[in-house]
Chain A
């Protein structure tokens, strides 16, 4: 069976890495997989050796032409209902005459509201031509995304809460990511602390991820937590990897807090495990709100697999983790609560060790790529069969 993933971003970041793993696992399960992503397909090699075909968005048209010449039972998965993905997915469906599934990994409605500064209802009231230009091009279209979801043969969701956006009640399945337990493990050789001016006495947090309009508040909480902890006499340092776009009601705040943070900027994906291995703990900041409830930051499985204490919001994957045994959960997610949790770890080394072991155990049992890919494969096969047009070849 053939599977075409139409993925919105570059191959070697965040969701691209998930697409890579699903692609490889499904190939090993006997599927013929193609992933269409943004930019150079060779970037997938930064993650590992892909067993599937990688094509760029620019080459998708040629790929579809080829697929149309070699008819086979096919299903297309639009990775998010974002407008460029929707267009490419619908084009593929039109040319291949096959059903499609939409994969949800974020509260897309909240993303467009944050980016445009207007409510979705307001955007939907705009005349069609203004709607076309009123939203950031990489996000959903105010009205088309609903039609896209409603017309899908099925929906896969990264967390169960996202099924709330499946308003037409299409069949759905959980497509939770897994983690490469070999690549992210507790005994990795860490990047030398002294190279970053850190000592063994420092309590080091490592965070790899972009700061953008949607997570500015929670990243401010993390930066601030480090400064507050330092003000309270703790030697806490944060090492951050990734792009930064500072904004919010007080963009200068980040700069003012910057001396508590070692900013390394974007780092090659292969180097990330060594940086993560420097950490004494990891913090995923943010409240259990409408943004975090619907997403699963791709770094969380990595944090858990590294076998160190993880502090994270009490939502999405946090709902499945035992507080005090597998992680420390945040109810507010603000800087003050993060500091309080850090102080708990600093005061109780035994707790830190227990949490690290619990996190690793969780990753081993609940975040298996193979098991999760099997669930997805079964769902896609069932959807492809159930949605097969009458009289079709397969």
Chain B
């Protein structure tokens, strides 16, 4: 509460103060309503257009084939209603042979010189038609609009603002939602900032997509061999040519979900899985990554990584386990590790709290006597890392249980992706629910485990659980990092006591251009009890993390859309959570 309000509260009787507060809230709502009137919004948008330092022309390529005239008209009208004036709409009718459709297109072209129409006599498929539309685009940038979808009135304005704010950008994409056959908006897709690893598992870029016009030319346009997912495959080739890719966290595109389209459901087009994994595998090959894409065994339109035949990432891996002294946990951890692990080049180091190695310590493990006083995880892990000889360091909490044989192979596979610094697996609780699927920063808490409490075999939000993806941090419960990167980032910061040093390391790796990645496989089980977690909660470590990364935390997590409720990292749009809160909160608090 601001100080002035506190003063007022102390001066006024509580009822009068409550009444004034309600009146103030009412006034704010009325003002919001006033400012949100379509006319007011349009006027505001026009002022924003005037304020733009430059106005690049954005051409929109629209292939048309036997479209529903109603939807097609709505799509074109949505372009004509743009607040941003410097657009061009390039429509190619792909041999529909429907005179009324051609007439509709010509009518629009006659009404607005910014609309160009080409009526083809033969059908070349969607990739061919899009290429034909691209060929008549003249703008500095090109966007893609399907014949039955709609843009929001400010869509191109927001794109132009992004492009002029940073003229080096080559690609801009936005959030989207779906339009049902009845015109109802549903299913918002709030995307993360540019996430090339996530793209390997989920076709997440979608619409609205705007690229510099030279890129499609360089990439060779759309490939008809990938019709159905031709835009996804096209984008894979585009992103091999630029990293200047910007995400606008606003819904600028309404995707029509009509029977037969992918938007209507994941089971609508059967050949998608094969095309998707083929496109990703070819993309990985072009990047020189020793991995291939395979369909997720249970969830449609999701792909996971597998080793490419005959070539898997290798090198010696040193597993470092910092032991706080709990014998039961450490024993389970080591037994499961030696029972499950198939990876041959392995070194296991256990850093204890002083003293001798326990008698039961497996032969393959080396005991290092750490400091005898209070357990300090960063210090113990650094001690282990200093003694390790592996090319990769794998920090493992003593409460973890290894439950999959090829767990190290899978972690290495993700670590070999371009630009990846740290990898953390899917960590489950003993009851099968998610304990941690990566860590988000800057939500209500400085660091929040993602999807905690969700079923481990679900889809999460648009594949956030079954697909590998970029995250702001991964936990030292299980964290793989190249030794050289670990050293260059300055190891774990020993100012931390027992917590947050792992997230801190991930942020320092990010400062060196190295991402943290969540890997959906392998899965490990964390046996740490809720009581153990509470004991571990350290306010000083938490504050130290805030102090070190204050500005980043204020900006929020780039991989967790600001449109989600920020209380917990479970991908619930904030508008939904607000509605649930209002419906369930006691009357006086609504």
Nearest CB in chain A: distance from B182 CB, A? 36
The listed residue (B48, B51, B543) touching A256 by CB distance below 8 A is B543
Nearest CB in chain A: distance from B167 CB, A? 15
**Nearest A residue (CB) for B52:** A125
Task: Give the docked Cα–Cα distance between A125 and B446 (Å).
Answer: 32
Q: Which of these binds chain B: A37-45, A197-205, A247-255, A300-308?
A: A247-255
Decide yes or no whether A189 CB sits under 8 A from chain B: no
Interface of A is mostly: helix
Tell me whether B550 and A227 are in contact (CB under 8 A). no
Chain A residue numbers with a CB within 8 Å of B554 are: 248-249
Within 8 A of A (CB), among B480-529: 493, 495, 497
Q: Provided the pairs A127-B47, A249-B553 are in contact, do residues A220 and B546 lie with their beta carbons within 8 angstroms?
A: yes
The listed residue (B51, B495, B542, B548) touching A253 by CB distance below 8 A is B542
Task: Give the docked Cα–Cα distance between A217 and B550 (Å).
Answer: 7
Convert A242-275 into 0s and 1s, putting 1 for each residue whose CB lies closer than 8 angstroms to a CB of B.
0101001110010011000000000000000000
Task: Give the docked Cα–Cα distance between A323 and B493 (Å).
Answer: 26
Chain B residue numbers with a CB within 8 Å of A250 are: 445-446, 542-543, 546, 553
Number of A residues, CB within 8 Å of B? 22
Convert A216-257 into 0s and 1s, putting 1 for each residue whose CB lies closer than 8 angstroms to a CB of B.
010011011001100100000000000101001110010011
Chain B residue numbers with a CB within 8 Å of A127 are: 44, 47
Task: Give the docked Cα–Cα distance between A90 and B276 (Å).
Answer: 67
Tell me whether A245 and B3 are in contact (CB under 8 A). yes
**Nearest B residue (CB) for A127:** B47
Tell me whether B446 and A257 are in contact (CB under 8 A). no
Decide yes or no whether A214 CB sits under 8 A from chain B: no
Chain B residue numbers with a CB within 8 Å of A217 are: 547, 550
Within 8 A of A (CB), among B30-66: 44, 47-48, 51
Decide yes or no whether A336 CB sits under 8 A from chain B: yes
Chain B residue numbers with a CB within 8 Å of A221 are: 547
Convert B413-457 into 0s and 1s, putting 1 for each residue whose CB lies closer than 8 angstroms to a CB of A.
000000000000000000000000000001001100000000000
Within 8 A of A (CB), among B525-551: 539-540, 542-544, 546-548, 550
Decide yes or no whether A334 CB sits under 8 A from chain B: yes
Q: Provided the pairs A127-B47, A228-B495 are in contact, do residues A249 and B540 lie with their beta carbons within 8 angstroms?
A: no
The listed residue (B44, B446, B493, B544) touching A224 by CB distance below 8 A is B544
Chain A residue numbers with a CB within 8 Å of B446 are: 249-250
Task: Give the docked Cα–Cα distance between A106 and B445 (Å).
Answer: 31
Tell me whether B540 and A334 are in contact (CB under 8 A). no
Tell me whether A231 and B540 are in contact (CB under 8 A). yes
Tell me whether B539 and A257 are in contact (CB under 8 A). yes
Tell me whether B543 and A224 are in contact (CB under 8 A). yes
Chain A residue numbers with a CB within 8 Å of B497 are: 231
Task: Give the docked Cα–Cα distance between A335 and B549 (Å).
Answer: 12
Nearest CB in chain B: distance from A292 CB, A? 14
Task: Give the docked Cα–Cα distance between A243 and B3 (Å).
Answer: 10
Q: Provided the pairs A224-B540, A231-B540, A250-B446 are in contact, do residues A334 and B47 lie with their beta carbons within 8 angstroms?
A: no
Give residues in B with beta carbon < 8 Å to A.
3, 44, 47-48, 51, 442, 445-446, 493, 495, 497, 539-540, 542-544, 546-548, 550, 553-554
Give residues in A with beta carbon < 8 Å to B.
125, 127, 217, 220-221, 223-224, 227-228, 231, 243, 245, 248-250, 253, 256-257, 334-336, 339
